[in-house]
Amino acid sequence: MKDTNMLLDVVIVGGGPAGLSAALLLGRSCRQVVVIDAGRARNNVTQASHGYLTRDGVKPSEIKAIALEQMKAYPNVHVAQDTVDQVKHDQGIFHTITRSGRIYSSKKIIFATGMQDHLPPIPGLAEVYGISIFPCPYCDGWERRNEPLAVFGNGENLYHYVQTIYSWSKDLIVITNGPSTITSEERNEMEARQIRIIETEITSLTSQEGKLDQIVFRDGQSIRRKGGFLLDTGPEQATRIPAVLGIPLDEGGAYATTSDYGHTAVDGVYIIGDAKNSFTGVIGAAREGYYIGELINKDLIEKDWNTY
């Protein structure tokens, strides 16, 4: 695309699987599209992404590189490495302002901006997160199956999380990093399955090149585990711009309120992928991009047909 000062059909904020998939579908629909991507996807920490048919075990950056390479076939799609700082909505047109000072005007805007994780402040956790401690057993459980694992977490979702991870490994220790909210019934169920519960605060995690070695506790004891799963990664919206445009977060305060497909309370604004759903997964995010691309194109087709 030569002239980015033209009125674009769609600006897509975020070039993860959700945003790039929408760009591909819209590009193939002859739409003028700009994708603006800051390149800070939450799975950048992982060595291999799993569960996406034909791309199982591939590094996230490689999946993205393939997508960007294939996008070059569509000169009507421009991908800019930049950060969106502000979006102004004026008489049905969206003016998207980037950190580098570019302004893109469009009929529609998609936020595929994902979530940013804010890990609990445990020394050593950042070094192992994405390499031997993970949030999602469907993404990384197979590689950890039957290993001695730790499950880090507390609160009402912990019991279900432990039950889930137990189907990949029976050798579990649950670490609540302080007094737990586990009920006596849940405790009995876990102990019946030889799942130990440790409520002592963690001092640090030790590791070698991201591989968890020991969990060290405030009372001086330590245990060896090969890896684990972390229930709460502290996810927050990567950007507040949709909220500023008038799109509320859901009751829990983490995810955007949208229709099933990503329509929002503001006409012409769509939110897809993790920002709308919690953990969509790469294939789920890509599916949402494909779907919303088709729905937006249908809407534009109707308008074009009536203004020929």
Ligand X SMILES: Cc1cc2nc3c(=O)[nH]c(=O)nc-3n(C[C@H](O)[C@H](O)[C@H](O)COP(=O)(O)OP(=O)(O)OC[C@H]3O[C@@H](n4cnc5c(N)ncnc54)[C@H](O)[C@@H]3O)c2cc1C
Q: Which residues contact 215 (CB under 8 A, 6 or more apart)?
A: 150, 175, 202, 205, 222, 223, 225
Q: Which residue has the tokens 């674009």?
A: 8
Return the residues of window 118-137 that contact ligand X according to CB under 6 A.
Answer: 130, 134-136
Residue 252: Cβ within 10 Å count: 7
Quick check: 14 binds ligand X (CB under 6 A)?
yes
Is there binding between residue 51 and ligand X (CB under 6 A)? yes
Nearest Cα residue to 231 out of 165, 288, 295:
165
Instruction: Provide CB contacts within 8 A for 93, sequence distance 6+.
Output: 7, 105, 106, 107
Q: Closest approach of Cβ 206 to ligand X, in Å? A: 20
**What are the tokens at 162?**
């432990």
Residue with smaller CB distance to ligand X, 166 or 279: 279
Out of 71, 173, 282, 296, the only residue in the binding site for ligand X (CB under 6 A) is 282
Q: Report 132-171 residues binding ligand X (CB under 6 A).
A: 134-136, 139
Using rule CB under 6 A, residue 84 touches ligand X: yes
**Per-residue tokens: 183:** 């009920």
Window 251-280: contact mask with ligand X (x via CB under 6 A): ----------------------xx----xx
Neighbours of 247 (CB within 10 A): 18
Contacts with ligand X by CB under 6 A: the residue count is 42
CA distance 77 to 200: 53
Q: Is 1 a binder of ligand X (CB under 6 A)? A: no
> Min. distance of Cβ 278 from ligand X in angstroms?
9
Q: How far apart are CA 38 and CA 84, in angstroms?
A: 8
Q: Is residue 228 at the binding interface for ligand X, with CB under 6 A as the rule?
A: no
Q: Smaller CB distance to ligand X: residue 112 or 198?
A: 112
* 162 vs 256, beta carbon nearer ligand X: 256
Which positions touch ligand X (CB under 6 A)?
13-19, 36-43, 45-46, 49-52, 83-84, 112-114, 117, 130, 134-136, 139, 238-239, 273-274, 279-283, 285
